[in-house]
Amino acid sequence: MPYLFTSESVSEGHPDKVADQISDTLLDNFLAFDPESKVACETLVTTGQVVLAGEVKSDTYLDVQNIAREVINDIGYTKGAYKFSGDSCGVISLIHEQSQDISQGVDRGKKEEQGAGDQGMMFGYATKETENYMPLALDISHKILIELAKLRRENKDITYLRPDSKSQVTIEYSDDNVPQRIDAIVVSTQHDDFDENEKKMLEKIKKDIIEILIPRVKVQLPEYVQKLFGEEIKYHINPTGKFVIGGPHGDTGLTGRKIIVDTYGGKGAHGGGAFSGKDPSKVDRSAAYASRHIAKNLVAAGVADEVLVQVSYAIGVVEPVSLLIDTFGTKHVDLSNGQIAEKVKKIFSMTPAAIEDRLGLRNPIYRETSAYGHFGKEPRKETKVFESPYNGRITKEVELFTWEKLDFVDQIKKEFGL
């Protein structure tokens, strides 16, 4: 019997994502000036206020208040009417030094002996469902909000948009897990109060989303996905009514509260650890990236159509406690999941130091991960400039989304005889 599956996304202006972006931008600045920085930075945003907290061990010093303000302005919170703007909000820093009890288990004489920064389990997932090996409902949800943000910044075809928004996509699947059609699309977007007639205002917003936004999203998708956009889609546009009060004024935001949006939209699994604001010694982040890298390369190599990787650690211990592979019955090799896992261990070292080195995680590459998902984006090289009143100006050549590279496909094919 056919079934429905739903994933959601939130925009860069969503309060939780504002917090994530501030935390990751602070992390990038610490890593730019001191690549060995240990950072666990949390952010809270609310009406007119930003609170920075967490633990940092670094040889550099930053103007964290100014960095937070720049992020807020970049996102688009620049007007007094939003009750939250980069130029006028208060920024309180409660950041302090990392606990010695934690650092003694992580820092070792030799880099390769670095222990895991925490215990826990992390997951990576990949599926042949899309060209970027991501779940389809989440991929479309992200694209809707990325395009909505472009429309907001263009301020041409739609001129009333504000930064805060959410999307949700429901897809009908056949019994053999093949997408059949899009059943429902939900878009809630913050907007100016541009018409005294609320009913007329909401009708215009719905018309613009369906007739301007959705076609711009649809044209970006491959033909087999475009065919899923039928006439019978149920659209829920700002279903609660007007959405003028939003952003951190409408809802307090916290770092790390959108972990399913950040990962696989409810597909696969999640170990519970958030990513943003954490340097790569925290395996919550680095091992989740490494697990995605493994899963994506396994699927691309043809080992299976769908792969889930679980890895677990004990704090201060170098080697993982466990590594599991689940292919959901889609494998194309005559091996058990356990045997596949043993081959994976031969190809990929999962010690914290090996992960950092393989994926280049001690570089300032995290701001770009902090909105619209950490996975499914194209790896690319970029020049980034960082300025500090204490450290001067520095230019860094970095590679973003290294865990999305298909650079182990040939090695996997050789190991598995594909």
User: 96: buried, middle or exposed (CB in 10 Å: 19+, 13-18, 0-12)?
Assistant: exposed
274 assigned binding-site residue: yes
Q: For 212, which DSSP code? A: I
Instruction: Give kind and range of the element (H or E) at residue 148.
Output: helix 136-154
Nearest Cα neighbor of 5 from 177, 181, 170 is 170
114 assigned binding-site residue: no
Per-residue pLDDT tens over the stretch 295-325: 999 999 999 999 999 999 999 889 999 999 9
**Dihedral of CA 241/247/250/251: which sign?**
positive
**Mean pLDDT calculated for residue range 137-155:** 98
Assign 109 a pLDDT band (cuts: 50, 70, 90): low
63 assigned binding-site residue: no
278 assigned binding-site residue: yes
Taking a C-beta distance cutoff of 8 angstroms, is the pair 327, 304 a contact?
Answer: yes
If one looks up domain 3-9+135-246 in CATH, what number appears? Answer: 3.30.300.10
166 assigned binding-site residue: yes
Per-residue pLDDT tens over the stretch 241-289: 989 999 999 999 999 999 999 999 999 999 999 999 999 999 999 999 9
What confidence score (pLDDT) does residue 389 get? 87
220 assigned binding-site residue: no
Same fold, 3-9+135-246 and 120-128+282-416: yes
Q: How many residues can be counted in the chain?
A: 418
DSSP structure string for 242-310: ---S-HHHHS-EETT--HHHHTTTTSS---S---TTB-TTSHHHHHHHHHHHHHHHHHHHTSBSEEEEE
Distance CA 360, CA 371 (A): 20
Nearest Cα neighbor of 251 from 79, 71, 47 is 47
Tell me the helices (H) and strands (E) count for the chain, helix number first. 13, 13
If one looks up domain 120-128+282-416 in CATH, what number appears? Answer: 3.30.300.10
Q: Strand 322-326 vs strand 306-313: parallel, antiparallel, or unpaired?
A: antiparallel
How many CA within 13 A on the CB side of residue 264? 29
165 assigned binding-site residue: yes
What confidence score (pLDDT) does residue 335 get? 96
Per-residue pLDDT tens over the stretch 35-83: 999 999 999 999 999 999 999 999 999 999 999 999 999 999 999 889 9
- pTM of the full structure: 0.95
258 assigned binding-site residue: yes
242 assigned binding-site residue: yes
Distance CA 99, CA 310 (A): 28
234 assigned binding-site residue: no
401 assigned binding-site residue: no
Q: Report the Cα–Cα distance between both ends of the chain, in Å, rounded.
A: 34
Q: Strand 392-400 vs strand 38-46: parallel, antiparallel, or unpaired?
A: unpaired
Instruction: Show the tokens assigned to 94.
Output: 């409660």
118 assigned binding-site residue: no
Instruction: Show the tokens assigned to 11.
Output: 């925009």
Assign 97 a pLDDT band (cuts: 50, 70, 90): confident
Per-residue pLDDT tens over the stretch 170-217: 999 999 999 999 999 999 999 999 988 999 999 999 999 999 999 999
Going from N- to C-terminal start, the domains of the chain cover 3-9+135-246, 120-128+282-416
384 assigned binding-site residue: no
Rg (CA), the chain: 22
Q: What CA–CA distances, in Å, run from 386 to 143, 237, 289, 391? A: 29, 39, 25, 9
